[in-house]
């Protein structure tokens, strides 16, 4: 009796196994009764569209191939340490998805040019074949999921597309490739050094009370903005955060920090220019109120231009939302939005050049210097050096967007050199600042007041350990 039961069970299991061998498995991102609405799984009752059903295509590209039996596997792919890429297939898109009768997903790639910003991987290196002049790559079961997506939060509300979430192929840039090493190792390391330099400048001018006058507060704010810009650029280097929202936010923070730093430099130039033009000079009398006024000017201008840039990106970008659904936007900030950030920078450069030339003429005509003018002369020299360093870095950033790798390598080098020069100009190259920092860190190592020390700094330079 038991032998018969075992034989029948074994026969049933064998029949199920044989039948299962002819079943094509397809992975679906959401549940069977769900579809995607703006990158989230939602019940089909929330829309008038039907749920997604697989449509198979042949190896040669023929659509609507009949498959005897298929089974849906629910869930997103488990990629481990590999990246996840979203792919969208809609009328007029550059990407095309094709589900083969064996359950593999074929991704046809028609835009395998390298992105000049370095944000995209060269897709031609990831392709697995060529069909009718189009490169493609096949994804096995477990490395992809398919579903239907509906766009509602854009001008193309109601547009339906086919959505796929895939694991990045193993084939990638080789570590022997110098370009890959520069973009993934050297560039982040240089940005990390630059970030540390800007944070050090901001900390020195913020911590030392003798440097917290109006010029010192402006330099501290300028360095903090440059540090934010470098931190956002560091995020853009790492492709594991590759998502269109993350990259757009990081781009915005990077350009906002850069624009704000130039506005702070413009405020410093205006403050020095107006001080030398004024007959009555009072130092530190209204520094707090003036700093509030300058802060209001800087952030109102910066946030206004950021709002204009984002409006241009979402509403006016010719290759952005007008040609793609809302969830299919380009990953980075568009060229029109970048132009809205960089045009004010060019105007501030011209205004700062005027401040530099006119203030230099005033200083050359002065025969005698008071204590305040003597101190402001050092601030003017610091402004001139910062102006030159930041303009050169800005120009190399513009050149790095051209399709020449050499210019990108130069920008990586200039980026870290700019940070080191800012650290030298603001801290290491000024004896007064280094003496104050040394006195704060090592009270017993003070050697006396530096020439040109401000009132009260002579007392702080006395060595308490000698008593």
Q: 232-288: per-residue pLDDT in tens?
A: 988 888 754 455 556 788 888 999 999 999 999 999 999 888 888 876 555 445 677
pLDDT of 18: 40
Question: What tens digit of pLDDT does each residue of 138-168 get?
Answer: 888 888 898 888 877 655 556 788 888 888 7
Q: Judge whether residue 381 has pLDDT over 70.
A: yes
Q: Judge whether residue 70 has pLDDT over 90.
A: no
pLDDT of 226: 94
Closest CA to 213 of 278, 155, 271: 271
For 178-429, the fitting CATH number among 1.20.1070.10, 1.10.10.10, 1.20.1440.120, 1.10.760.10 is 1.20.1070.10
pLDDT of 4: 59
pLDDT of 157: 58
Q: Judge whether residue 43 has pLDDT over 80.
A: yes
* Lowest mean pLDDT, pick from 184-188, 273-277, 329-333, 395-399: 329-333
Q: Please, which pLDDT band fits residue 355 given cuts at 50, 70 and 90? A: very high
Q: What is the mean pLDDT of residues 430-437?
A: 80
pLDDT of 110: 64
pLDDT of 419: 94
User: What is the overall mean pLDDT for the chain?
Assistant: 76
CB of 128 closer than 8 Å to CB of 136 = yes
Which residue has better confidence, 316 or 221? Answer: 221
pLDDT of 239: 54
pLDDT of 151: 76
d(CA 128, CA 16): 34
Q: Which fold has domain 26-167?
A: Methuselah ectodomain, domain 2 (2.170.180)
Which residue has better confidence, 381 or 174? Answer: 381
* Lowest mean pLDDT, pick from 40-49, 301-310, 401-410, 450-459: 450-459
Q: Judge whether residue 1 has pLDDT over 50.
A: yes
SS (H, E, C) the chain: CHHHHHHHHHHHHHHHHHHHHCCEEEEECCCCCEEEECCCEEEHHHCCCCCCCCCECCCCCCCCECCCCEEEEECCCCCCCCCEEEEEECCCCCEEEEECCCCCEEEEECCCCCCCCCCCCCHHHHCCEEECCEEEEEECCCCEEEEEEECCCCCCCCCEEEEEEEECCCCCCCCCCHHHHHHHHHHHHHHHHHHHHHHHHHHHHHHCHHHCCHHHHHHHHHHHHHHHHHHHHHHHHCHHHCCHHHHHHHHHHHHHHHHHHHHHHHHHHHHHHHHHHCCCCCCCCCHHHHHHHHHHHHHHHHHHHHHHHHHHHHHHCCCCCCCCCHHHCCCCCCHHHHHHHHHHHHHHHHHHHHHHHHHHHHHHHCCCCCHHHHHHHHHHHHHHHHHHHHHHHHHHHHHCCCCCHHHHHHHHHHHHHHHHHHHHHHHHCCHHHHHHHHHHHCHHHCCCCCCCCCCCHHHHCCCHHHC
Which residue has better confidence, 174 or 388? Answer: 388
The structural domains of the chain, with segments of one domain joined by +, span 26-167, 178-429
pLDDT of 281: 53
pLDDT of 15: 46
d(CA 32, CA 28): 8
Q: Judge whether residue 324 has pLDDT over 80.
A: no
Q: Judge whether residue 405 has pLDDT over 60.
A: yes
Q: Please, which pLDDT band fits residue 117 given cuts at 50, 70 and 90? A: very low
pLDDT of 286: 65
pLDDT of 320: 37
Residue 289: other Cβ atoms inside 10 A = 10
Which residue has better confidence, 60 or 35? Answer: 35
Q: Judge whether residue 87 has pLDDT over 80.
A: yes
Q: Please, which pLDDT band fits residue 418 given cuts at 50, 70 and 90? A: very high
Q: Judge whether residue 458 has pLDDT over 50.
A: no
Residue 303: other Cβ atoms inside 10 A = 13
pLDDT of 319: 43
For the ranges 11-15, 36-40, 166-170, 426-430, the maximum mean pLDDT occurs at: 426-430
CB of 163 closer than 8 Å to CB of 145 = no
CB of 47 closer than 8 Å to CB of 37 = yes
Q: What is the mean pLDDT of residues 305-312?
A: 90
Please work out, in degrees rounded to the nearest 5, the angle formed at the alpha carbon of residue 331 by the alpha carbons of 39 and 407.
165
């Amino acid at each position: 009796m038991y032998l018969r039961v075992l034989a029948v069970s074994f026969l049933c299991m064998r029949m199920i196994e044989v039948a299962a061998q002819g079943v094509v498995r397809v992975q679906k991102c959401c549940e069977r009764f769900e579809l995607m609405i703006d990158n989230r799984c939602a019940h089909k009752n929330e829309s008038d569209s039907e749920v997604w059903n697989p449509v198979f295509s042949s190896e040669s590209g023929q659509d609507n191939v009949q498959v005897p039996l298929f089974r849906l596997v629910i869930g997103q792919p488990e990629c481990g340490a590999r990246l996840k890429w979203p792919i969208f297939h809609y009328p007029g898109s550059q990407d095309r998805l094709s589900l083969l009768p064996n359950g593999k997903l074929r991704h046809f790639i028609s835009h395998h040019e390298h992105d000049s910003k370095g944000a995209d991987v060269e897709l031609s290196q990831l392709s697995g074949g060529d069909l009718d002049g189009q490169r493609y790559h096949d994804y096995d079961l477990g490395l992809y999921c398919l579903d239907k997506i509906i766009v509602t939060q854009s001008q193309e509300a109601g547009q339906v597309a086919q959505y796929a979430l895939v694991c990045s192929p193993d084939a990638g840039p080789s570590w022997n490739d110098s370009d890959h090493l520069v973009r993934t190792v050297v560039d982040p390391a240089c940005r990390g050094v630059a970030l540390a330099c800007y944070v050090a400048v901001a900390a020195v001018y913020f911590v030392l009370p003798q440097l917290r006058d109006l010029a010192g507060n402006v330099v501290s704010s300028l360095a903090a903005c440059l540090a934010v810009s470098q931190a956002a650029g560091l995020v853009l280097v790492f492709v594991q955060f590759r998502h269109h929202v993350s990259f757009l936010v990081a781009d915005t923070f990077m350009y906002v920090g850069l624009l704000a730093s130039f506005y702070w430099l413009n405020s410093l130039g205006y403050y020095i220019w107006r001080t030398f033009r004024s007959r009555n000079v009072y130092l530190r009398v209204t520094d707090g109120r003036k700093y509030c006024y300058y802060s209001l000017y800087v952030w109102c201008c910066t946030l206004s231009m950021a709002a204009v840039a984002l409006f241009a990106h979402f509403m006016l970008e010719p290759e952005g939302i007008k040609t793609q659904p809302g969830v299919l936007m380009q990953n980075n900030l568009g060229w029109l939005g970048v132009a809205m950030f960089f045009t004010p920078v060019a105007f501030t450069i011209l205004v700062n050049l005027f401040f530099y030339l006119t203030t230099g003429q005033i200083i050359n005509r002065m025969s005698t210097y008071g204590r305040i003018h003597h101190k402001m002369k050092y601030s003017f020299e610091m402004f001139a050096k910062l102006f030159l360093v930041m303009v050169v870095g800005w120009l190399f950033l513009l050149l790095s967007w051209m399709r020449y790798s050499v210019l990108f390598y130069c920008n990586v080098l200039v980026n870290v050199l700019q940070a080191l020069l800012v650290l030298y100009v603001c801290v290491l190259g000024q004896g007064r600042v280094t003496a104050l920092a040394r006195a704060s860190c090592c009270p017993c190592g003070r050697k006396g007041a530096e020439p040109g020390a401000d009132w009260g700094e002579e007392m702080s330079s006395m060595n308490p350990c000698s008593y």
